[in-house]
Amino acid sequence: QQQVKQSPQSLIVQKGGISIINCAYENTAFDYFPWYQQFPGKGPALLIAIRPDVSEKKEGRFTISFNKSAKQFSLHIMDSQPGDSATYFCAASLYGQNFVFGPGTRLSVLP
């Protein structure tokens, strides 16, 4: 019930391409869905987040698509750059509660 699934485990994209990472959740009570970016040896940094009353949110090159009925959400990184190479975690939470993190996707953007 609390699990968040994430795929793919790793992703290699050419510079300028689109990176797509997918997540699925089980608990329909979750009401906050953030994406975090983590570089080696650093803590996660919030990239973008969405609430279930919105189907899409865009911030710069980053877009979250949310499908409430399917209990799925995805991160799209447009015009991917080598500097985007990092591990990305999706997460889900109930407001005020701890996050449940997906297992992570290691993204490598080739120059």
* Interacting residues toward other proteins by CB under 8 A: 34, 36, 41-46, 89, 95-96, 98-99, 101-104, 106
Nearer of residues 77 and 91 to other proteins, judged by Cβ = 91
DSSP-derived pairing of the beta strands 10-14 and 105-110: parallel
Nearer of residues 80 and 104 to other proteins, judged by Cβ = 104
CB 4 within 8 A of CB 92: yes
Nearer of residues 18 and 39 to other proteins, judged by Cβ = 39
Cα distance between residue 77 and residue 23, in whole Å: 15
